[in-house]
């Protein structure tokens, strides 16, 4: 089985680090022309320099997609989008009763509305061309709401609804819309998050084990997922091989969610 995305243009938001960076590199290796997105041009250019390799076509698409003007600039730099990966997201631990109105709004605007805005802008073109792939990177927190970050869980639950709804809008057009439920994943941001919850003096491997034991004990994988493992699923869903998968919430969660279905 070979994934071939030759001739397709992909936009991966928040792709200068973590899961987004792994997704961008994987799509490029499959032949796609990939737009690297981050808020600053310097960070985007540095990422492109780091990821540069024979056969990879990477373009710079800097801009803050949480703002209408920034989203417009990103789309202008990218051109017609065949594959949209809404990966950008924020997260953090906060006591439930201390999350104020502004923080609730911020999580919704960054994690949900930015994705909706880009779908509105790109889905019509995909439908007109008769082919497209949209994926929203969700989280196990969409289903198993963590007490320490209810606002984050809320935003990822909303992405599941967004994905299903736009999949219905795209019915019969050759465009698929799915969400990817990522489990606890090893990124720089997650390392910081882990140390917010466990003893900061612990070495990383020990801290990771303690975090999984005390805060994510239901994981069947019993370790953090690597970004490449998420990227592999995204590449498959972005390919022609996944033409019959749409409106789905696909789990790459290490068995964290204790349910047969999402």
256 is catalytic: no
Strands (E), the chain: 9-12, 33-36, 57-60, 83-86, 132-139, 175-182, 249-252
10 Å CB burial of residue 54 (0-12, 13-18, 19+) is exposed
Nearest to 3 by CA among 79, 78, 61, 83: 83
Query: Rounded distance, CA 34 to CA 24, Å?
Result: 6
Query: Rounded distance, CA 129 to CA 131, Å?
Result: 6
**Of the listed 107, 152, 195, 256, which one is catalytic?**
152
Which residue is associated with the tokens 């698409």? 61
State the catalytic residues.
Answer: 152
């Amino acid at each position: 089985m070979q994934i071939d995305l030759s001739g397709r243009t992909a936009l991966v938001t928040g792709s200068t680090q973590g899961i987004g960076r792994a997704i961008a590199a994987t799509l490029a290796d499959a032949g796609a022309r990939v737009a690297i997105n981050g808020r600053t041009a310097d960070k985007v250019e540095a990422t492109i320099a780091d990821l540069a390799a024979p056969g990879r076509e990477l373009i710079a698409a800097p801009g803050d997609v949480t703002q209408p003007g920034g989203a417009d600039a990103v789309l202008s730099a990218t051109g017609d989008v065949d594959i949209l990966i809404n990966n950008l997201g924020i997260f953090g631990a906060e006591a439930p009763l201390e999350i104020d109105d502004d923080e609730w709004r911020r999580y919704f605007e960054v994690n949900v509305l930015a994705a909706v805005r880009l779908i509105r802008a790109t889905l019509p073109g995909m439908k007109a061309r008769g082919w497209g792939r949209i994926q929203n990177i969700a989280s196990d927190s969409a289903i198993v709401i963590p007490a320490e970050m209810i606002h984050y869980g809320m935003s990822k639950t909303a992405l599941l609804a967004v994905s299903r709804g736009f999949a219905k809008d795209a019915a019969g057009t050759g465009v698929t819309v799915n969400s990817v439920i990522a489990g606890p994943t090893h990124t720089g941001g997650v390392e910081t998050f882990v140390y917010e919850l466990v003893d900061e003096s612990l070495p990383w491997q020990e801290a990771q084990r303690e975090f999984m034991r005390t805060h994510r004990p239901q994981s069947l994988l019993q370790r953090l997922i690597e970004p490449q493992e998420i990227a592999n699923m995204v590449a498959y869903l972005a390919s022609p091989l996944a033409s019959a998968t749409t409106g789905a919430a696909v789990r790459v969660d290490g068995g964290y969610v204790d349910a047969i279905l999402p």
